[in-house]
Amino acid sequence: MRKLNSQKEILELNTQLNKANISLEKEISSQQDLIEDLEKANEKASESASESKKISLELTKNTGDSKLAKKASRAANRAVKDARTALKWNNKLDDNKDGIKDYQKDIKDINQQLEELKSKIEFVPNQQ
């Protein structure tokens, strides 16, 4: 009876292991998309920051130009918005990496439990 219960536990652990492996693969596959989105956001943030800096330098040369001041303000706001977007993508990527680590840890723990149960089954004397 113990052997059957242990085998039942092994089946349940194998189910958990399969689910964890599937979740891990999903996290890994979504990571590449997140990296691409982050790179795009970083590039956009860099471009808008450069544009803002360029307009700010022009404004320092022409301090009385109100049109240029409005343009500099809009460029600065755009740069801030783009930087926030890049930060959000960076946080999503960090969360993804944490999720991958968690699934890897879970898989390791489940594998360890499986090995312990299998060794118990092997040492249980066969009673008839």
Own/partner pairs for 38-44, CB < 8 Å, 24+ apart? 38/86, 38/89, 38/90, 38/92, 38/93, 41/82, 41/85, 41/86, 41/88, 41/89, 42/86, 42/89, 44/82, 44/85, 44/86
Can you give the residue ranges of every domain in the chain? 2-123
Q: What is the pLDDT of residue 44?
A: 96
pLDDT tens for the 128 residues of the chain, in order: 677 787 888 899 999 999 999 999 999 999 999 999 999 999 999 999 999 999 999 999 988 889 999 999 999 999 999 999 999 999 999 999 999 999 999 999 999 999 988 887 766 555 54
Residue 22: CA count within 13 A, CB half-sphere: 6
pTM score, two decimals? 0.75
Q: What share of the chain is helix, strand, coil (3-state, %, to 5)?
A: 90, 0, 10
- Identity at 49, one-letter amino acid code: A
State residue 124's pLDDT score.
53
The conformational region for residue 45 under phi > 0 = left, psi -120 to 50 = alpha, else beta, is alpha
